[in-house]
Structure 1
Amino acid sequence: MSRDSSEEPSDVQRHLQEVMRVTKINDLLRLFISLFLFEICISNIRSRTATGREDYGYSYQFADGRMVHISDQLSLRNALLTHCDRLSNKFLPYLKESLNQRSIVSAVSHLSDGVVRVMLKNDVTVRKARVKTKSNYLNVIVGTKSKPSLRSQFSPSEDAIRIILDGDKRNVTFDFDCFESALGHTLHSLTKDWLEIAFAVYISDICVRRNPDLSRRLHILIPVRHLGTWSKVTTQLERTVSILARDNVRIHFVKKRGKCDPISLLESSPNENECVCLLSGGLDSAAGAAFILEKGLKPLFVSYSPGGILTTIQTGLLAGLAQEKDTTLRRLTVPWQARRTGAYGLVKQKDSLLYQHLRSFFYLSLATAAAVESRCSDVYICENGPTAINPLIAESHVNTRTVHPLFLDYYQTLVRSIFAIPITIRNPFLYKTKGQLSRYLVNRKLTSLIPLTNSCFYYYGIKPYAQQHFDIKDYAGKHDGDCLPCIIRRVSLHYANVPDGYDDYLTDVFNLFDSPVFRTLPDRSLQTLVRIADLLRFAQYLSNLHPHELITHFPDLFPYAQGIDYDKLTEMYRRYSKEILDCFRSKSSQELRHVFGAVLNPDVSHVSV
């Protein structure tokens, strides 16, 4: 595109022109070589994401697993630039000499000589240094093998946690009895390996503390029966786990004593119309259970629970569904417990923005094990689209990837590699909002199931919280009302025209200023206001911005995974934003409308960036 000759050059152009006047050709060549080498290094490091390693090619990243602190990235990038500058100085004479040659053969010869003498010699030195400093660090040890006996192969941390699955010293309770009782046969030894690995990964997530910058290493030693099988998929397993929790994951396998069943015993034709479906006790899983039964499938519902109120919620929901459908439903509940005190007691990490992000790996692994042993080819994990993709709605949030399409894609590939069975992981609600799932239940006259479900983050602490701050004894509800899942639940029920009195919430976020905790817990109330502001601003962006602009502001809105329909995703996000804005505009008090008037005023359509 031509520029008018009368147009004055910009300040940037004038600066570049001045730099070019004073810069010598040698400096330009040296700069070119240095930056060229730097880009090759970054490209090489970035390509290693295929093995689950971090990507230092971006200023920040969550895309492929480990969260890397920006200071670490800048340190490496600066070190690389310095190293490339040194190489550039050494290589420059060879480049200049090649430019003086009259024949191409001679020029290439000089360049090749420089590559061999400068680049390859350096590469050999780096590789030797890497081999010399390699260490098999461990901070999680599964089993009772002593640290001194491990030091010939590994470098166990002094504060490495122990996960002891069996024997007199065991500090967790996780047995195969519930599986074998529900399925009517003994589990295959490869399935036992799979369950123990998934459980060890989950317990590691709970107990290994994060650094102040939220980074963390999970380097786990796990004994397995089928060592050959697991050694082949180690990289796939590490990558799949790291995607969920953004951790630096390394898993080391050693041989475990015990019977190894022939892999051929798992090979058989899948049972028609049978499937495995996860049942968490949430509203989405209730809709998913109804959806699967409507399709005429015969599901085995799988739940996990450490006991307490969650088991009660799941049991009540399934009983209610069975009553509505006038049928008997099969269910497998997998309990587990961890010992917190005594020798090898397991202590939960302190509250963190990234907490229990590997729960879904364990949860989905239970369903997969049931599917393998039941000869079912389909595993259903039902979650609405916005929650499944769960994009960052603001910088103050850290999103989970519980049912993220990329995670499910990697997970399915991993499972098929291990068991050589064409199991498919399905989320039928990827393009649906929670409001649509609520309406699905209402339209099928299953509204009675809604009060039996739970959406709250803090359901386990509702009773003492209600008594302490609301003076309500023996509170029978399950929702605090002001966590993000509770807010989204209220939005969805509003969309489905479910009456207000049909559900329970300690805090009415639409009348937040009248809530007892607004004065008694000002910090919590401020967090709730920020949460509402972030959600409304996000909804307004979704409503007003073009899809190309959305990608710029929220790149994780449109994940790259197999089979994704981006047009359907865009439509789903539009519906989601409309549900949020319509609900808040309809239900908010005058005080709340005053605070968020710029968004809650229907006439406002401008989004400031």
Structure 2
Amino acid sequence: MSKRHIIVKHNNADTFQIVPGNNESVTTLSLDPLDLNKMLKSHIYDDLRTLGFTPENTAYDLLHIALAIYTADQTVSRQTNGFQGWSRYLTVYFPVNDKALWDSVKEMLENYIGFLSGDKWAFEFRQNETIRTFQHQLVRNPENYTKVSLLSGGLDSFIGAVDLLSDNEKPYFISHYKTGTESSTQVKIYNALETKFGKGSFKGHKFYVQPNQQNILAEKENSSRARSLLFICLGLTCANCLGDTIEMILPENGLISLNIPLTKTRLSSHSTRTTHPYFVDGLNKIISTLGIRNKITNPYRFKTKGEMMVECKDVAFLMTHDHETISCSHPENSRYAGMPPGLNCGYCVPCIIRQAAENRAGNIKTTYAIGDIRRTPPSQRNRKGSDYRAFKLALQNLTTITKPHSLALQINRSGQIPYNSEAELLEYVSVYKRGMDEVKLFLDS
């Protein structure tokens, strides 16, 4: 495993540099929007200005750190630089507006980002020599938005949006896209919500942020573990601009959040930790230490995806549009099956959980590229069937685990569960068991 140094610069006037040691390399990552050789494609700065959002220095730094981590994650190849083709060693040199403040969260940041991406991260903060000047709007939240919520285009975030609007909240939805499929899906959902609840009932914005893998200094990396950090920090930045205590909603069902490895061999690349309670709890600790008062909340952490559907505040509206959402890990792959791109594949972990939820709600209306995985299970030799087979093995193994404390050990396999009482821990155990029961009911039906 080689060590990669990532020098982050906000502008080309920054002359900071280091001399790498043996088996080490250096990449300079420019976040300057005027730099023609930058490794990041985005209009994020123009978007924030257009929206009237002016982040405070700490929130501004946090967003830049998320941009840098996401870009490094996508432009440093695991195959070339990682231990056994996976875990990388990355040291990031980052200019901030308050070095002492960021040094106070250095260890936490290294721990939780490492947990998220499966890499070893080290952060070396340095004082930003450029004094940032800015001027806030006289009124930060003139339209009185009450919550910020992430709206990815997936089924869970759509349910989250419907529930907020049905509860007479006035949400500000934040979306992130990097493909045409994601963008078009989000547009469909925004249009449906506007038709149902009215144009003035909410506001939303779609941010395009994508590392430039065509840059001569970039390496192509297909995994994108750090994308969730960027998405969350986009929402958090906007929430902070609207008000110091505006809550940021992260809508995700409890089973996928826990994302317990289905087999013993799926602890690394297969075990994503996008919304894992340990990671979300860690981010809340970091932002609190930084003095940011906004909080990240997942109100569905104790609900299965099926329960989210049947308990939605407007089930009739949900059932009219649920099939338009995309929950798939790789929706572009449907073209390989001779079908239009942008379909849920039907065979990845999120798609299997999605079909189990639709089955629980009474009707599978979504068109899946693979068809019905129950009637035509993938061949044992087909790689597409690996998640299907893993679920089958996991469900079989669960029949031998009946005691709550044994299940508690099981859910801690993907990460330590933060809890304040035994009752809260048992809630996590219960949602895992109920979620897996939903999948079993679907696969056996």
Asked if Structure 1 and Structure 2 have the same fold, meaning a TM-score greater than 0.5 normalized by the shorter chain, the answer is yes
Cα distance change on mapping 1:508 and 1:204 into 2, 3 Å? same
Cα distance change on mapping 1:502 and 1:192 into 2, 3 Å? closer
Give the match's secondary structure for 2:317: coil
Structure 2 residue aligned with 1:424: 295
Alignment check: 8 A CA contact 1:138 1:156 kept: no
Give the match's secondary structure for 1:413: helix
Alpha-carbon separation, structure 2, partners of 1:459 and 1:393: 22
Q: Aligned pair 1:574/2:403, yes or no?
A: no
Alpha-carbon separation, structure 1, partners of 2:13 and 2:24: 12
Correspondence for 1:258 among 125, 130, 133: 130
User: How much identity, in percent, do the aligned residues show?
Assistant: 23
Residues 336-393 of structure 1, C-alpha deviations (whole Å, 9 max, x = no match): 243334543x2222x5xxx211111111111111111110431100110011111111
Q: Aligned pair 1:533/2:389, yes or no?
A: yes
Alignment check: 8 A CA contact 2:147 2:172 kept: yes
How far has the Cα of 1:426 moved from its partner? 0.7
Alignment check: 8 A CA contact 1:558 1:566 kept: no
Structure 2 residue aligned with 1:373: 241
How far has the Cα of 1:541 moved from its partner? 4.0
Alignment check: 8 A CA contact 2:54 2:134 kept: no
Q: Aligned pair 1:493/2:358, yes or no?
A: yes
Residues 428-457 of structure 1, C-alpha deviations (whole Å, 9 max, x = no match): 111111111222347343212212200111
- Of 577-586 and 409-418, the range deviating more from structure 2: 577-586
Q: TM-score, normalised by structure 1?
A: 0.64
Alignment check: 8 A CA contact 2:6 2:72 kept: yes
Give the match's secondary structure for 1:293: helix
Correspondence for 2:26 among 139, 160, 175: 160
How far has the Cα of 1:290 moved from its partner? 1.1
Correspondence for 1:150 among 3, 14, 17: 17
Correspondence for 1:457 among 319, 325, 329: 329
How far has the Cα of 1:478 moved from its partner? 1.1
Structure 1 residue aligned with 2:367: 503
Structure 2 residue aligned with 1:382: 251
Q: TM-score, normalised by structure 2?
A: 0.85
How far has the Cα of 1:145 moved from its partner? 7.8
Correspondence for 2:48 among 175, 179, 186: 179
Give the match's secondary structure for 1:506: coil
Structure 1 residue aligned with 2:150: 278
Structure 2 residue aligned with 1:447: 319
Structure 1 residue aligned with 2:92: 220
Alpha-carbon separation, structure 2, partners of 1:321 and 1:401: 29
Residues 140-183 of structure 1, C-alpha deviations (whole Å, 9 max, x = no match): 1223889996347x75975423311113432323331112212x
How far has the Cα of 1:212 moved from its partner? 1.2
Q: Aligned pair 1:484/2:349, yes or no?
A: yes
Correspondence for 1:339 among 212, 215, 227: 212
Structure 1 residue aligned with 2:442: 583
Q: Aligned pair 1:323/2:195, yes or no?
A: yes
- Of 533-542 and 451-460, the range deviating more from structure 2: 533-542
Cα distance change on mapping 1:185 and 1:326 into 2, 3 Å? closer
Residues 537-576 of structure 1, C-alpha deviations (whole Å, 9 max, x = no match): 3234445522233345554378431446122223323322
Give the match's secondary structure for 1:492: helix
Alpha-carbon separation, structure 2, partners of 1:147 and 1:414: 27
Cα distance change on mapping 1:412 and 1:149 into 2, 3 Å? closer
Residues 59-105 of structure 1, C-alpha deviations (whole Å, 9 max, x = no match): xxxxxxxxxx9xxxxxxxxxxxxxxxxxxxxxxxxxxxxxxxxxxxx
CA RMSD, Structure 1 to Structure 2 (Å): 3.3
Alpha-carbon separation, structure 2, partners of 1:194 and 1:169: 23
Cα distance change on mapping 1:432 and 1:201 into 2, 3 Å? same
Which runs of no fewer than 5 residues in structure 2 stay unpaired? Answer: none
Alignment check: 8 A CA contact 1:302 1:331 kept: yes
Cα distance change on mapping 1:300 and 1:543 into 2, 3 Å? farther
- 1:79-228 aligned at under 5 Å gives the runs 139-143=5-9, 150-151=17-18, 159-166=25-32, 167-174=35-42, 175-182=44-51, 184-208=52-76, 209=78, 210-212=82-84, 214-228=86-100
Letter in 2 for 1:197: I
Alignment check: 8 A CA contact 1:431 1:572 kept: yes
Give the match's secondary structure for 2:375: helix
Alpha-carbon separation, structure 2, partners of 1:217 and 1:477: 34
Alignment check: 8 A CA contact 2:306 2:357 kept: yes
Alignment check: 8 A CA contact 1:316 1:452 kept: yes
Alpha-carbon separation, structure 2, partners of 1:557 and 1:150: 37
Letter in 2 for 1:489: R
Correspondence for 1:240 among 81, 89, 112: 112
Select the structure with the greater relative contact order (CA < 8 A; seq sep ≥ 6): 2
Letter in 1 for 2:343: K
Cα distance change on mapping 1:553 and 1:185 into 2, 3 Å? closer
Alpha-carbon separation, structure 2, partners of 1:141 and 1:558: 30
Give the match's secondary structure for 2:37: coil
Structure 2 residue aligned with 1:21: none
Give the match's secondary structure for 1:445: helix
Letter in 1 for 2:252: E
Cα distance change on mapping 1:229 and 1:569 into 2, 3 Å? closer
Alignment check: 8 A CA contact 2:178 2:209 kept: yes
- Of 361-370 and 306-315, the range deviating more from structure 2: 306-315
Give the match's secondary structure for 2:328: coil
How far has the Cα of 1:285 moved from its partner? 0.5
Alpha-carbon separation, structure 2, partners of 1:218 and 1:190: 23
Higher normalized helix content (fraction of residues): 1
Letter in 2 for 1:142: V
Structure 2 residue aligned with 1:605: none
Alignment check: 8 A CA contact 2:4 2:27 kept: no
Structure 1 residue aligned with 2:168: 296
Alpha-carbon separation, structure 1, partners of 2:145 and 2:14: 49
Structure 2 residue aligned with 1:392: 261
What is the aligned length?
427
Alpha-carbon separation, structure 2, partners of 1:150 and 1:573: 48
Q: Aligned pair 1:230/2:102, yes or no?
A: yes
Alignment check: 8 A CA contact 1:138 1:155 kept: no
Alignment check: 8 A CA contact 2:40 2:71 kept: no
